Amino acid sequence: MIYSMTGYSKASLSRYGYTVTINIKSLNSRNLDIIIRFPRDFIHLENEIRQSLRSKLRRGRVEIFLTVETENPCLKAPPIHPDIFRSYWNQLTLISISTPGIPRPTVGDLLKISHIFDHGKDEESQEDLQKLILETTNAALDEVIAMRAEEGKILKKACETHLEVIENQVKQIENRREIVVKSLKDKILEKLKQLLEDASIAMDENRLLMEAALLAEKSDITEEIVRLKGHVEHFRKMISQPQPADGRQLDFLVQEMHREANTLGAKSSDMNLSVFVVKLKTEIAKLREQVQNIE
């Protein structure tokens, strides 16, 4: 099976007076690049979320966005503890009266003192919120993985189509091989005879045939055809197995196909064969475009 590296998901959960929304966007990348865009109050959750993403994804540029909303004013800011507020107010007022040059305290002065806030309820609320954020993240992650799987099915069909065309071109080249080798051997033999006649050198006919055959064998494309067939078969097997195919390995296979096609082109002196090779290289390039999207 195949997983694409591209995908998008959005998950929202409402609980404990909060509504948490997670957006995940996944694009192509050589490695797994995770970009977490969370408000500063939730930066401490990044490591846990990174570990979760790394356990389920292998490649891609993954961006994750967090939005937290609440209509409860008590959740937007921790409540003020009245007794502590009055205690600080009285103490500061006495200090200002007994100490010359110190102005009377203002409400703004006291709001700068964190101890006047009732953090007990706030801490409990924050723990609930963090659990909700992690749960929503997992839901969004599962959704983006499902989307990448669906995209992978489309990629698999596209790859199979390109493989069929590649196989057809290789078959055309293989059918042409015997004709090309015989034609090349005849040309070499004729050229050798011409050179020997020009140099007034006599040579046995059998020896000439053997030399021509040896030179023609150097331009034989049998090995390249065999290797191309093997690469196509291996590629098809990788994308058809139950476990996810490795995009890097598939990319390497496509590079090997391209290398064999280049060798075929270099050895080809036949116009018809060259046409098949050009079509083959074009289809391999199309296959690689699809492989660039595979995880």
Domain locations in the chain?
A: 7-74+120-149, 80-116
**Percent of all residues in the chain with a pLDDT value above 70, rounded to a whole number:** 81
**What confidence score (pLDDT) does residue 206 get?**
59
**What confidence score (pLDDT) does residue 200 get?**
56
**What confidence score (pLDDT) does residue 112 get?**
82
Band of pLDDT at residue 127, cut at 50, 70 and 90: confident
Calpha distance 291→52 (Å, rounded): 26
Calpha distance 42→127 (Å, rounded): 11
Calpha distance 26→63 (Å, rounded): 6
Instruction: Out of 32-46, 65-79, 248-262, 269-283, pick the least confident.
Output: 65-79
**What confidence score (pLDDT) does residue 147 get?**
96
The answer to whether 171 and 56 have CB atoms below 8 angstroms apart is no
In this structure, whether the domain defined by 7-74+120-149 belongs to CATH 3.30.230 is answered with yes
Query: In this predicted model, what pLDDT tens digit does every residue of 176-198 receive, in sequence order?
Result: 877 766 666 666 666 666 655 65
**What confidence score (pLDDT) does residue 230 get?**
96
Query: In this predicted model, what pLDDT tens digit does every residue of 7-55 receive, in sequence order?
Result: 999 999 999 888 999 999 999 999 999 999 998 888 889 999 999 999 9
DSSP bridge pairs for 25: 8, 63
What is the DSSP code (8-state) at residue 79?
A: P
**What confidence score (pLDDT) does residue 60 get?**
95
**What confidence score (pLDDT) does residue 150 get?**
96
Average pLDDT, the chain: 85
Calpha distance 36→47 (Å, rounded): 10
Band of pLDDT at residue 73, cut at 50, 70 and 90: low
**Is pLDDT of 215 > 90?**
no
**What confidence score (pLDDT) does residue 61 get?**
96
